Amino acid sequence: MSGSLLREYEIMQNPALGANALWGFTQGFVSRPHEELQSLTLWHLVTVLPLLYHDTSRKIILKKRESSGLRSILERDLKNSVAQNETVFNINNRIKALQDRTFRSLNLALACNLISLEEGYFFSNISFKIPSTIPVETKNILKAAQKLGGWAGGMSDFEYLTILGVEP
């Protein structure tokens, strides 16, 4: 492996990055106006790392405006040789592949009180801020996490999971 590829692999293996990504997603999710607030479930959280650790999905999320909403990642980009929604269609396999890493990251986020669990739903009262001194790749993961959380917080569980094509 080349040096930069090995470094990226090591970053992605780090449960602390996953915990921060889940925290960023949670903060984006709960940032919705109180009357619009949905309940954050485990189903939401298991989709985060498979979307953010997948380079194409992450880039598509970052490229879209927050006001565009989650459906915008399914639009076909004519400049892209692959339809953008093809990156989402394989999410079920990626959820299974990243299941252990997701749960290690979630356990760490809970242990560090970044995310709390109450009556089966997740929330966070700790403000999320992306540090300025982190590598660009890490910063992009955290930015995408917060944006994805904001999108997810504005829709029902069913709508969010259906758009992504998640099979329970």
Closest among 158, 149, 166 to 69, alpha carbons compared: 149
Please identify every stretch of the chain with a pLDDT value under 70, giving residue numbers as ranges: 1-12, 33-37, 74-89
Q: What tokens does 16 get?
A: 């602390």
pLDDT tens by residue, 118-163: 988 999 988 888 888 988 989 999 999 999 999 999 888 899 998 8
E-state strands within 5-157:
116-118, 121-123
Closest among 12, 28, 22 to 137, alpha carbons compared: 12
E-state strands within 7-120:
116-118
pTM score of the predicted model: 0.85
The pLDDT score that the predictor gives to residue 81 is: 47
| Whole-number Å distance between alpha carbons of 79 and 68 | 19
Angle between helices 42-52 and 55-63 (to 10 degrees): 100
CA distances from 70 to 10, 45, 54, 61, 147 (A): 29, 15, 16, 8, 9
